[in-house]
Structure 1
């Protein structure tokens, strides 16, 4: 057999094997997408909203948390009472503790702890006071710290708020 015929034969064999492997992969993927699997996937992707202070959150136009699948996004917690009034005015350390207390309530609602937090963003109007109080976070994150950012801002939603903390959570099944 000459080189040209050998090359053509090998090429045809390669194409045939590749085609059958592709067809097998496509058939396998089709089998995975059964109606039951699709319905289950859609159910997991349905957003589940949570309001910590329903009246306050409706008045300001936000939900405090939303869970989609294994991911939970938690809006920034601030130091406020159940009517939306600022608490611990002028005391950043206490405001931070109040934020974490509210965040813990939300985490518990979803069956999570701070160990499930994968991202934490802190917004503060006084970075130097936050840095002085930041050691408190070791009481919150006992296993490991999440990723995130600390941002100094000129103001938050209400002038008395000095800190706002938002979280992203990954809930394992």
Structure 2
């Protein structure tokens, strides 16, 4: 991927183009090696249905993060900051951590978990946003 240090690139993998067109936001923005990924939720992008429960939604959300990072030329290993939003932070945190540790098994990023009263759809339990530095997870 050849971008100048200051060139701004919007990242919208094919399954998310409709969201970009309808709601006018990018799934990620890349400037140089820095990548800001918009909040990803536990929805299957093929049928647009949320997973059943925290474990399924966390897994789908991390898979969506991975898809966006790949489109931006990065990987989960390049995540340097993780912010998560939970509708039941205390009740679901252990299930979430188990899934998080599957996707981010080492070199843990900085992480802020926030309890919220609602997300974009009432059945959603968690939303994940990340900041990544492309290539930083290689070493």
Tell me which interval the TM-score lies in, with the shorter structure as reference length.
0.7 to 0.9
- Pairing of 1:53-132 with structure 2 (within 5 A): 53-82=16-45, 85-89=48-52, 91-132=53-94
Q: Greater strand share, 1 or 2?
A: 2
Aligned alpha-carbon RMSD (Å): 2.1
Paired residue for 1:164? 127
For this pair of structures, how many residues does the alignment match?
132
Q: Greater helix share, 1 or 2?
A: 1
Structure 1 alignment gaps of length 5 or more: 1-39
Compare relative contact order (CA 8 Å, sep 6+) and give the higher one, 1 or 2: 2
Paired residue for 1:46? 7
Asked which structure has the greater CA Rg, the reply is 1
Q: Structure 2 length normalisation: TM-score?
A: 0.84
Q: Aligned partners of 1:86 and 1:129: how far apart in 2?
A: 23
Alpha-carbon distance, 1:106 to partner? 1.4
Deviation readout 1:78-111 (Å, 9 max, x if unpaired): 122437834124x111100000011111122233
Equivalent of 1:145 in 102, 105, 108: 108
Q: Aligned partners of 2:90 and 2:49: how far apart in 1?
A: 21
